[in-house]
């Protein structure tokens, strides 16, 4: 990607400009990326380098050869499957790195008489500046945020990055009424002790007492070789996670 393209993708200063999205993949029927059946756009590029990433090919910035997809092209594709959809979700990679495209896409969705009834969701690692949420909030119906670890030190181990902006995003999205769900990726022996789970639940409930939480159990399938020796949660681990989080007061809890 050229430096010029990089600044266009990452900044929010191109508001109003015609922007395209660097789309890695499309799933036209997903039941796990937000409420109902969703059209999912996977965008290229992520600022994290998660040990347990299942889509590590989406981490590098868009390569020079990658042709951006226009908003009109994407809206036309969504229209073609509209009868089967509840909404659209942008994910990645990290979708907020392409905030101008996401904003233009969601704005176009709301203006389109055929598909304006679909909901617009963002699935994010949460590492976005306040300005990004300022931009997206007026055109977004809900946001799903991954919280890889409440403790910053463990967050750095798991992602290579501090969680300061992640926690701020969770708090500000909840205050705006846009926080749909927080997803906890749990890896045995790293971030799944009773004490950590209880403290995480307490912090989340302080943000929103009715918060929807999804346990994302670590799976080795598709991860890089350096993560293949990590343990997957067993059935009894998942039972314990549910039990500790429920006892702490999380009422809306699902497991994936």
**CA of 92: how far to CAs of 24, 96, 146, 198, in Å?**
8, 9, 12, 29
- Which range of residues in 46-54, 75-83, 102-110, 196-204 is near ligand SF4 by CB under 6 A? 46-54
> Nearer to ligand SF4 by C-beta: 159 or 191?
159
Length of the chain: 256
CA 89 to centroid of chain Cα atoms? 9
**From the CB of 166, what's the least distance to ligand SF4, in Å?**
10
Among residues 9, 14, 40, 19, the alpha carbon closest in space to that of 105 is found at: 19
Q: Is there binding between residue 166 and ligand SF4 (CB under 6 A)? A: no
Pattern 78-117, binding to ligand SF4, x per CB under 6 A? --------------xxx-----------------------
Q: Is there binding between residue 216 and ligand SF4 (CB under 6 A)? A: no
* 83 contact partners, CB below 8 Å, separation of at least 6: none
* 142 contact partners, CB below 8 Å, separation of at least 6: 34, 35, 119, 121, 122, 178, 179, 180, 181
> Nearer to ligand SF4 by C-beta: 19 or 50?
50
Q: Is there binding between residue 50 and ligand SF4 (CB under 6 A)? A: yes
Residues that bind ligand SF4 (CB under 6 A): 46, 48-50, 53, 55, 58-59, 92-94, 125, 159
């Amino acid at each position: 990607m050229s430096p010029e393209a990089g600044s266009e993708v990452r900044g929010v200063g191109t508001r109003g400009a015609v922007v395209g999205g660097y789309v890695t993949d499309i799933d036209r029927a997903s039941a796990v990326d937000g409420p109902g059946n969703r059209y999912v756009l996977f965008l290229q590029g992520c600022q994290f380098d998660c040990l347990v990433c299942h889509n590590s090919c989406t981490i590098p910035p868009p390569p020079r050869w990658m042709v951006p997809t226009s908003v009109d092209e994407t809206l036309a594709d969504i229209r073609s499957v509209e009868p089967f959809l509840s909404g659209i979700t942008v994910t990645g990679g990290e979708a907020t790195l392409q905030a101008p495209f996401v904003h233009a896409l969601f704005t176009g969705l709301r203006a389109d008489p055929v598909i304006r009834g679909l909901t617009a969701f963002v699935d994010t690692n949460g590492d976005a500046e306040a300005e990004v949420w300022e931009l997206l909030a007026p055109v977004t119906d809900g946001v799903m945020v991954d919280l890889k670890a409440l403790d910053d030190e463990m967050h750095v181990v798991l992602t290579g990055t501090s969680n300061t902006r992640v926690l701020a995003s969770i708090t500000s999205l909840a205050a705006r009424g846009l926080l749909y769900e927080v997803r906890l990726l749990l890896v045995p022996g790293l971030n799944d002790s009773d004490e950590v789970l209880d403290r995480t639940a307490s912090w989340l409930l302080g943000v929103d007492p009715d918060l929807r939480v999804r346990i994302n159990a670590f799976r080795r399938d598709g991860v890089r070789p350096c993560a293949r020796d990590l343990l997957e949660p067993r059935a009894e681990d998942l039972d314990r996670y549910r039990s500790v989080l429920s006892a702490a007061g999380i009422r809306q809890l699902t497991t994936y």
